[in-house]
Amino acid sequence: MTIERIEVNKRLSEAVVHGSMVYLCGQVADDLKADVRQQTREVLANIDKMLARAGTSKAQLLTATVYLK
């Protein structure tokens, strides 16, 4: 089974596809001055983008862990 890495940088891959499974790294907002609502929207949009690049969507999620501070 092959492993596909998406948006690889020196430290990590934003997403990894292994078989029919997609794994995303921790997602955080870029705009730290935005309120929690806007930061949440930004993170969810980033997740949508990463899942689309992996050929899937949130409709196919089995599990998600969300931390809000």
Domain residues of the chain, as ranges? Answer: 3-59
Alpha helix (H) residue ranges in the chain? 36-53
**Alpha helix stretches (DSSP H) within 2-53:** 36-53
CATH class as words, domain 3-59 = alpha beta
pLDDT in tens, 9-68: 999 999 999 999 999 998 999 999 999 999 999 999 999 999 999 999 999 999 999 887
Tokens of 12: 């990590």
Could you tell me how far CA 4 lies from the centroid of its own chain?
15
What's the predicted TM-score (pTM) here? 0.84
